[in-house]
Amino acid sequence: MNNLTRFAWRPVLLAFLGASLGAASPAPQSPPGGADRPRVAVRAIAATPSVSKQAKDEGSADALLQIEQGADPQLMDALAGTGRFDIVARADLPSVLKEQDLAQSGNVSVIDPQAARAYQLAGARYVATVTIGNFQDITERTELLNQFGTSKAERRTISLQATVRLFDTTSGTLFRSTNVEFDESATNEILPGVDQKGRKTNVVLGKATRRLASEAAAAIAASMGPAPVPAGGGMQEDSAAGEPVAAPPGAGTLGGGAATPQRPVRMAIFVKQRPGTVPDDKVATFEDLVSAASTGPGAEIIRREDVMNAVNRLAPSGANAGTAGPDAERVDRLLSDRTSAVQLAGQLRADMLLTASVSQLIKARRRLDDASTGVATDVEQWTLVTTYGVIDGTTGASLAAGTVQSDFARRDTKELKVEVDAIDALLRDAASRIGPSVRSTVDAARARAATAASEVRVRLDAVLADLSVPDVRKDASGEYVVGANRYDLQPMAVQVTIDGLAAGNCPGEIPMRPGVHKARFERPGLEPVELTINAREGLAITVPMQLSPEGRANWQRDAKFFNDLKNGAVLRDADLIRVRAVADFLRNSNIRLDTTNVQNLNLGGESLWWQILR
C-alpha cells in the first residue's frame, strides 16, 4: 500500500470507528411506583467453561475476567437504579457474614441499634444469573501516513453474548430467559515521535462492562412486566406493609359506640407444656416472661404463684425456703387436684384467663459449603411452637387464640464459635410476641368484663343417708310412746370446698359464679363427698353423706333397736335410757333432726328428741 492510499483510507477508517463508538446505550428505566418490590439475588457473572478456555488460549483471559468482575457490582447498581427491585447481597455475602460474626463475638455493643443481626438475612423470591456464552477480543492495526510521518492506528472490538435467566426460588422454575448481544469498540492513533505506554483501547473493556450490566439489568426489569403506575401519577407507599393489623371495628367500645369501662381487665395466667418439650424449670421462666410482656395499660396479670402458693416455692434457700417438710406443698397440690383453671381464675377474681402452652420443639442442623461465594457455615437451628389463648373467666369460652413460631439459630464458622442457651432465647421471643397480641384484646375484654354475670347464691344442705329415728312423744299419762313419724338426721357445720377453696359451711347459702364447679363436703366422723355443681340462681342441693366406718358400725346396733320399736309402743325405762344415749351422741356430734319431710308435726305432747336436742 503506497502513502497516498494510506492517506485516503485513514479518514474512512476513523469515521467507521467513530460510528461504532457512538452507538446509543439503552434508555434508562423510569422508577416504578410500588413499595412492595420483589427481591432479587444476583449471582456472580461468569463465562461458560469453554469460553473461559478459549479466552485463555487466545491470551484474552485477563480481559474476560475484568469484564466478569467489573460487571457484578455494576449490575446490582443498575438493577437498583431501575427502582423495580430490592437487591439482596449474595456476591458480597462473605463480608456481610463476617460483620455478623463480629457482632456476635461480644466485641460490639449489644444495645447498638445499628449492630449487625445474625439469622435475619433477607430472602429472595428471584435469582438472576448472567452467563457469558461467547466472548471475542479482536484487535485490528494499521499504519497511516500523514504530514508528520507514519502513525500507527489500532481498533479494538469486544464482541459479547450472554444469557440472562431469572429463576423463581419458590418453585425452582425458570421464570424468564433472554439474550444480550453487543459489540463495543475503541480506536487509538499513535502519532510519529510519541512514546505511549499502555493501550488506550483498553477503555473498551470498561464500556463493555457497563454495557453488559445495563442491558442485563434492563432484561431482568423487562421480565417483570411494565412498571406499575400509581393512581394520581405519584409515588405511593403501601401503608399496610409491615404495619400491625388494625383493630376490628368496634374494638374498645361497648356495642361498637359507647365508651368502654376503664377498669383494667384482670387475667389469671396459666402456663403448660407438652411432656418432654422443654425442661420443667423453664416453664416457670416462660410464665414470668409472658406475664411481663402481657402486662400493660388496662391489663393486670394475676399469678397463682404470687397470690396462693406457699412462699417456699419462690426460693430454694434463704428466708423464703421454709422448713421443706413433707406437708410443705400438700395444700398447694390438693388445690391443683380439686379445681380447674377457669374456676381457680374465678376464685382469684379474674375476668379472663391467659393460657400459654409450649407445644413443640424441633431441632435441625445444616451445613453450607459454597465455593462460589466462599461461605462455609455450620448452623444448628431450633424451632419452638407455642400457643396462647384468652378465655372468658365465667364461661370458659375462647375469646382470642393464636400460634407463635420462634426460631433460633447458632452459626459456627472458621473464625467464630458460639455457645448459647437456645431454649431461653426461644422462650423470650415467644413471650415478646404473645404479649402484644394479648394486650390488643384488652379493650374488647373490658366490655366483656363489664357485662359479666355476677355471683349467684346456691342453697346447700347435708343429710345422713338412710339414717332416721322414730318419733317418741310423751303422752298425757306421762308415758313415752313411739309415733308414726320418722326423722332424717342432718349433720351441721359441714365444711364446703368449692373448686379447691374453702367456701363456708352447710346448711346455708354459698355464693359462687354461675357455671360448673367442683364441690367437696367433709366433716369429722363422716365420709367426704364430692359433687359437680352447675350453679345458678335459686339452686338448692341436698347432699347425702355417710358416717365413717366406725360410726356406721355403732349406728347399725342402734338402727336394729329403732327398727324393733313398734308404732304406738310404750317405751320401758331401759328403752328410754337407750334413746337418751343416742340423743346425747347426736347432740355431741352436732347432728339435728330434719323435719322437712314430716307431714304432721302437730301430734300433741312433746317430742323426746326435741326435748333432748334443742
Residue 552 C-alpha cell reads as 356406721
Residues paired with residue 489 on neighbouring β-strands, in sequence order: 593
- With cut-offs at 50, 70 and 90, classify the pLDDT of residue 58: very high
Q: What is the mean pLDDT of the chain?
A: 76
Highest mean pLDDT pick, 89-103, 324-338, 510-524: 510-524
Residue range 8-23, pLDDT digits in tens: 334 433 343 343 333 3
pLDDT surpasses 90 at 134:
yes
Is there a contact between 94 and 375 (Cβ–Cβ < 8 Å)? yes
Residue 48 C-alpha cell reads as 461458560
Rounded average pLDDT over 136-158 = 79
pLDDT surpasses 50 at 293:
yes
- With cut-offs at 50, 70 and 90, classify the pLDDT of residue 197: low
Q: What is the pLDDT of residue 148?
A: 63
Q: Between 4 and 44, name the one with better pLDDT.
A: 44
Residue range 233-291, pLDDT digits in tens: 443 333 333 333 334 444 443 334 444 446 778 888 888 887 777 888 888 888 889 88
Q: What is the pLDDT of residue 3?
A: 40
Distance of CA 510 to the CA centre of its chain: 41
Distance CA 602, CA 495 (A): 33
Distance CA 37, CA 32 (A): 9
pLDDT surpasses 50 at 231:
no
- With cut-offs at 50, 70 and 90, classify the pLDDT of residue 224: confident
pLDDT surpasses 90 at 548:
no
The pTM score is: 0.50
Q: What is the pLDDT of residue 161?
A: 95
Distance CA 209, CA 561 (A): 118
Residue range 559-613, pLDDT digits in tens: 777 777 777 777 777 778 888 887 777 777 777 877 665 544 445 567 777 766 6
Is there a contact between 80 and 37 (Cβ–Cβ < 8 Å)? no
Distance CA 122, CA 378 (A): 19
Distance CA 352, CA 226 (A): 53
Q: Which of 187, 182, 188 is nearest to 17 (CA)?
A: 187
Q: Which of 473, 34, 67 is nearest to 236 (CA)?
A: 34
Q: Between 328 and 145, name the one with better pLDDT.
A: 145
Q: Identity (one letter) of the amino acid at 353?
A: L
Determine what percent of the chain is predicted with pLDDT higher than 90.
Answer: 17
pLDDT surpasses 70 at 320:
no
pLDDT surpasses 90 at 165:
yes
Residue range 408-454, pLDDT digits in tens: 888 888 888 888 888 999 999 999 999 888 887 766 666 555 455 57
Q: Which domains does the chain have, with CATH numbers?
A: 3-229 (3.40.50), 261-318+331-450 (3.40.50), 456-613 (2.60.40.1120)
SS3 content of the chain, % helix, strand, coil (to 5): 30, 35, 35
Residue range 108-133, pLDDT digits in tens: 887 888 888 887 888 888 999 999 99
- With cut-offs at 50, 70 and 90, classify the pLDDT of residue 337: low
